[in-house]
Amino acid sequence: MRSATYWIASALLWIAAHPLAAPAQTSVVGLNSLSAVVSVSAPEKVVARKNQLVTVDFTVDIKSGYHVNSNTPADEYLIPLKLTLTEGPAALQEVVYPKPTLEKFEFSQKPVSVFQGVFKTQAKIKILPGSAVGSTFINGKLRYQACNDRMCLPPRSLDVKVPLEIRN
């Protein structure tokens, strides 16, 4: 049977031989906790015909205690919330955001235009006439910068993927 000293020495040697093991795990955990501040949900499926204009509802959920700048921030240095879709079987016609709220924070001299909590935004899309009939996806991104009352996190983008069934 091996002594406790043997096991401690083995563990220390392993850590010395793998110095990046612990920081990498901490880094990954940190990134995952940042991404949990904002989430976006798309509908389970959109069914449409070629050349049809369709409204797709997205639900955005911002963790309590955080906010994101609205799509129309008052200051040009603030990063707006922006939903974009990659052109493919459908073309984005318009994005409709909810009415933002104006909030006063310690770090700002004037109220800031923000979204908080859970809200819906809509993408109005047109199914392109040359699109193939069948199942496909609409892909896009939701770009934002989440902040709390003391600091802002780095800007991020979330992938958005909507199943689409195109019919004649």
pLDDT digits (tens, 9 = 90+) for 61-113: 999 999 999 999 988 889 999 999 998 999 999 999 999 999 988 878 889 99
Domain ranges of the chain: 1-35, 39-167
CA distance 166 to 168: 7
Per-residue confidence (pLDDT) for residue 150, from 0 to 100: 85
Considering the domain 39-167, what is its CATH architecture? Sandwich (2.60)
Residue 28 has pLDDT above 70, yes or no: no
What confidence category does residue 168 fall into, taking pLDDT thresholds of 50, 70 and 90?
confident
Q: Are 38 and 156 in contact (CB under 8 A)?
A: yes
Average pLDDT of the chain to the nearest whole number = 83
Residue 15 has pLDDT above 60, yes or no: no
Per-residue confidence (pLDDT) for residue 35, from 0 to 100: 53
Per-residue confidence (pLDDT) for residue 19, from 0 to 100: 35
Residue 26 has pLDDT above 60, yes or no: no
Block residue for tokens 């700002």: 108
* Token digits of residue 40: 């976006």
Give the contacts of 156 (CB within 8 A, at least 6 positions apart): 34, 35, 38, 143, 144, 145, 146
What confidence category does residue 21 fall into, taking pLDDT thresholds of 50, 70 and 90?
very low
